[in-house]
Amino acid sequence: MITRYEDGVHTDKLSTRFLLPGEQPDDWKKVLADSVTDPEVLLNILNLPDTLLPGAIRSDKSFRMRIPRPFIDRMTRGDQHDPLLRQVLPLGEESEEVSGFSLDPLAEQSQNPTEGIIHKYQGRLLLIISGACAINCRFCFRRHFPYEDNRLGGDNWMQAIDYIRSQDSIHEVILSGGDPLAATDSRLARMVEALSDIPHVKTLRIHTRLPIVIPQRVTKEMLHWFCGGRLKPVMVIHCNHANEIDEQVEQALKKLRQAGAIVLNQTVLLKGINDDSGSLADLSHALFNAGVLPYYLHLLDRVQGAAHFDVNEERAKVLVNELMQKCPGYLVPRLVREVAGEASKTPIPVN
Ligand SMILES: *Cc1c(COP(=O)(O)O)cnc(C)c1O
Ligand code: SF4
């Protein structure tokens, strides 16, 4: 099953390894730069009908399509309902305005004590490293957030470090974004060095989707700055479907575990993608197989353009109850919703 798209050889599953012969596996930047951003190219690669194009072009204008090729490789050709495709293909539905779905559902734009920091919860805060993501997920609550204006540029990261130093209640710093791993290892290493010098900071957490979408991102350098220092390393990856975990992803996640990181996963419950307990159980098992435990199962943030992904709370409770029957307790994530102004994620009782 070795084919490349260029060969014009068709298989159901795109099994192409993106790497060319002799290419170094840590060339993640090249892979990132080669992401597919043109809906027409995507439809061609996947052999999908042109009827999807007008809607895709329209919605691409409000939130750009961006998909790294290793993620596309895990999609099934000719299937417009593929659970990975559905997460990233712009659809005409996104331009419908639905009441209750707003531009900034988490009211994050009013929670910045200093540029690049979102401090909402006790003891931990978000450090916004990079405005960019490697992949643009259509359901993302950040699709309207001005992250480009709110990331740490040259000088303002010293201000952010000063803020953390001044708050001795902060024992955990969460690198966030966008995707924090979209930044280079040298920049991240410098940032982590500065954080390590603050005695009350004990834990370094990274929220990222990059090891899933471009597993080559788990470089030796990264393992060094993340797992080799004083701070206890925790990574929360974001994976919504078992098909996102292929062998390369599994290897990357295992490397993180072997280097000493605790690796957890959060999932967004998404209609048409993972809203059945079988898919959720498969996901938990695939994660466990890669050394990862489930953490949160999020109800969708009510962001404009994502209403067609919404699964209501009643249905979500049924799914989690079914999941509890199918899986051991440690493979059942906590069902939560994020409510603006609350002191933590809001747990949703399932019984
Ligand atoms: C989700 C989130 C955190 C982390 O919450 P945990 O429950 O510790 O995972 C921290 N700060 C903000 C602003 C968040 O949205
Ligand atoms: S923040 Fe996460 S969910 Fe949102 S677009 Fe980036 S990778 Fe996707």
pLDDT band at 77 (very low <50, low <70, confident <90, very high): very high
Cβ atoms of 52 and 65 within 8 Å: the answer is no
66 lines ligand 2 (CB under 6 A): no
- 140 with 229, same domain: the answer is yes
> 8 lies in a domain?
no
From 95, 123, 153, give the residue that closes a domain: 95
pLDDT tens digits for range 87-111: 999 998 898 888 888 887 776 666 6
Domain that holds residue 82: 26-95
> 14 lies in a domain?
no
Average pLDDT over residues 40-47: 98
Paired with 270 in beta bridges are none
- 35 with 129, same domain: the answer is no
- 130 with 187, same domain: the answer is yes
The answer, yes or no, to whether residue 183 has pLDDT greater than 50, is yes
Residue type, 77: R
From 52, 68, 95, give the residue that closes a domain: 95
Q: Which residue has the tokens 């990274």?
A: 206
The answer, yes or no, to whether residue 229 has pLDDT greater than 80, is yes
Closest listed ligand to the CA of 236: 1
pLDDT band at 40 (very low <50, low <70, confident <90, very high): very high
Minimum-distance ligand 2 atom for the alpha carbon of 238: 2
> 12 lies in a domain?
no
Between these two residues, 156 and 100, which has the higher pLDDT value?
100
Q: Ligand 2 centre from 5 Cα, in Å?
A: 27
- 32 with 149, same domain: the answer is no
- E strands in 87-215: 117-121, 124-130, 172-177, 203-208
Cα gap 301→286, rounded to integer Å? 25
Q: What is the pLDDT of residue 103?
A: 80
pLDDT band at 154 (very low <50, low <70, confident <90, very high): low
207 lines ligand 2 (CB under 6 A): no
- Burial zone of 138 (CB within 10 Å; 0-12 exposed, 13-18 middle, 19+ buried): buried
Cα gap 221→42, rounded to integer Å? 32
- 33 with 137, same domain: the answer is no
Mean pLDDT (the chain, rounded): 90
Minimum-distance ligand 1 atom for the alpha carbon of 174: 10
Average pLDDT over residues 291-317: 96
Q: What is the pLDDT of residue 204?
A: 98
- 67 with 181, same domain: the answer is no
> 101 lies in a domain?
no
Average pLDDT over residues 333-345: 95
Q: Ligand 2 centre from 136 Cα, in Å?
A: 6
- 67 with 158, same domain: the answer is no
> 63 lies in a domain?
yes
Minimum-distance ligand 2 atom for the alpha carbon of 134: 7
238 lines ligand 2 (CB under 6 A): yes
From 95, 130, 149, give the residue that closes a domain: 95
The answer, yes or no, to whether residue 156 has pLDDT greater than 90, is no
pLDDT band at 150 (very low <50, low <70, confident <90, very high): low
Distances (CA, A) of 337 to 123, 237, 312: 20, 18, 11
Q: Please choose from 110, 120, 234, 299 the residue to mutate so as to test ligand 1's pocket, defined by most ligand atoms within 8 A of CB.
A: 120
Residue nearest to ligand 1 atom 9, measured at CA: 345
Minimum-distance ligand 1 atom for the alpha carbon of 344: 7
Cα gap 65→39, rounded to integer Å? 7
- 193 with 277, same domain: the answer is yes
Q: What is the pLDDT of residue 151?
A: 61
Count how many domains the chain has: 2
Q: What is the pLDDT of residue 3?
A: 30
Q: What is the pLDDT of residue 21?
A: 56
> 163 lies in a domain?
yes
Average pLDDT over residues 202-224: 98
The alpha carbon of residue 134 and the mean position of all alpha carbons in its chain are separated, in whole angstroms, by 9
209 lines ligand 2 (CB under 6 A): yes
DSSP for 21-72 reads TT--TT-HHHHHHT-B--HHHHHHHTT--GGGHHHHHHHHHHS---B-HHHH
> 129 lies in a domain?
yes
- 290 with 179, same domain: the answer is yes
Q: Ligand 2 centre from 134 Cα, in Å?
A: 8
Average pLDDT over residues 51-68: 95
> 246 lies in a domain?
yes
Non-local CB neighbours of 65 within 8 Å, separated by 6+ positions: 36, 37, 38, 39, 42, 56, 88, 89, 90, 136
Minimum-distance ligand 1 atom for the alpha carbon of 295: 9
pLDDT tens digits for range 240-264: 999 999 999 999 999 999 999 999 9
Average pLDDT over residues 336-340: 93
Average pLDDT over residues 288-317: 96
Q: What is the pLDDT of residue 351?
A: 86
- What is the percent of the chain where pLDDT is above 70? 88
pTM (2 decimals)? 0.91
- 124 with 89, same domain: the answer is no
- 122 with 164, same domain: the answer is yes
The answer, yes or no, to whether residue 238 has pLDDT greater than 60, is yes
Q: What's the CATH code of the domain at 148?
A: 3.20.20.70
Q: What is the pLDDT of residue 170?
A: 98
The answer, yes or no, to whether residue 82 has pLDDT greater than 90, is yes
Token pair for residue 222?
Answer: 């990264």
Q: Ligand 2 centre from 177 Cα, in Å?
A: 8
Lowest mean pLDDT among 70-79, 148-157, 319-328, 331-340: 148-157
Q: Ligand 2 centre from 7 Cα, in Å?
A: 32
- 133 with 209, same domain: the answer is yes
- What is the percent of the chain where pLDDT is above 90? 77
Residue nearest to ligand 2 atom 4, measured at CA: 140
Cβ atoms of 7 and 16 within 8 Å: the answer is no
